[in-house]
Amino acid sequence: MADTSTKYLGRFAPSPTGPLHFGSLVAAVASYLDAHAHGGTWLVRIEDVDTTRCRAQFSEEILETLLAFGFVWDGEVLYQSRRSLHYQAALDQLSARHLTYACACSRKEIADSALAGIEGPVYPGTCRAKGLATADNAIRVRTMPGEICFQDRVQAECRQRLGTCVGDFVLKRRDGAFTYQLAVVVDDAAQGVTHVVRGADLLDSTARQIHLQRLLGLPTPVYLHFPVVTNSAGQKLSKQTLAPAVSPAEACKLLGDALAHLGQTLPPGARHADPVQLLASAAQRWDTAVIPRQRASPLR
C-alpha cells in the first residue's frame, strides 16, 4: 500500500478520437489504482482540444465503457473543448512578457532547414526575430538554454535540452486551435492535479510541460510513465494503428491483462471477479516498484 500522508489528486485524460482500446485501458487502470492506493482523488478529463479529430460520440462511449469496467471517477468530467478562454488567457500572459512569437513557417519549410529531434525536426527559430502579426500564423513559445530535469517514478531521472531536442514549440496552431502542451498544463493546474500517471509515449513531452509550468508560475506534478502497449509490429496501440475497442463482456479478463502489463500480481480469482471488486483488490496490492522500467512492451 502506498504512502497516504500527502494529498493526492490524479486524473485519466483520454482523447475521444475513437472508442476505448486496450492501451487506454492500461492508462485508466494505472492512474486509477495509483490514486486509490494513495487514498486520493481520481478525475476524468476528456482531452478534445483538437476538434478536427475528436468526436462527442466517442466521449460518451469512453465514459460508458469506463463505468462498465468498474471505474468510478470523482467530480464532474472536464472537457477541453469548453476551455478555450482559459488557454487564451495563459497564452496572453506569456505574450505580454514577450515569451511567444508568431511563426509563418510551413512543415515542409521546417523539415527542409532543421535537424532531427526527438519527435521530428527541431524548429530552428526562423521567425523568432521577425515580429510577424499573430493573425493567420502559429504562436510559438521561446525555449531557454540549459537542461530540464525531473525524476520519474518509473523511468528514473530524465533530462532534456528543449532548444536542441525540440526547439521553440507551438502553443496555438495557425487554424486557431490550442495545442495539447498548453491545454494539459493549464488544466492540470486548474484541477489541482498533484500526480500524473500516463504512458511513456508522453515522456518526451514532459520537459515542454515543465517549461510552461515554470513560465506560468504553476506547480509541477509528480510524474509516472509506464510502458505503452505495442502490437505485433511494434507500434503503439492507438486509433491510428487500428487498435480494437475493448469489450465490457471481457472486463475482468482485460483488467487482469492490464495488471499483468503493469507487472502487478493478480488478485486471487481476478479474471472471474466483479470488476469493481477486482479494482479494489488491485489497489490494495498496487506496487509501482514492479512496473517495468521501459518505454514500451508488447501486448501479451
Q: What is the pLDDT of residues 212-248, one digit of tens each?
A: 999 999 999 999 999 999 887 777 777 676 678 999 9
Taking alpha carbons only, the member of 64, 55, 72 closest to residue 18 is 55
Q: Domain 9-83+224-298 is in which class?
A: alpha beta
The type of residue at 11 is R
Q: Identify the residue with better confidence: 270 or 88.
A: 88
The SS3 call for residue 199 is strand
pLDDT score at 117: 84
Q: What is the mean pLDDT of residues 90-114?
A: 93
Q: What is the pLDDT of residues 5-62, one digit of tens each?
A: 469 999 999 999 889 999 999 999 999 999 999 999 999 999 999 877 778 889 999 9
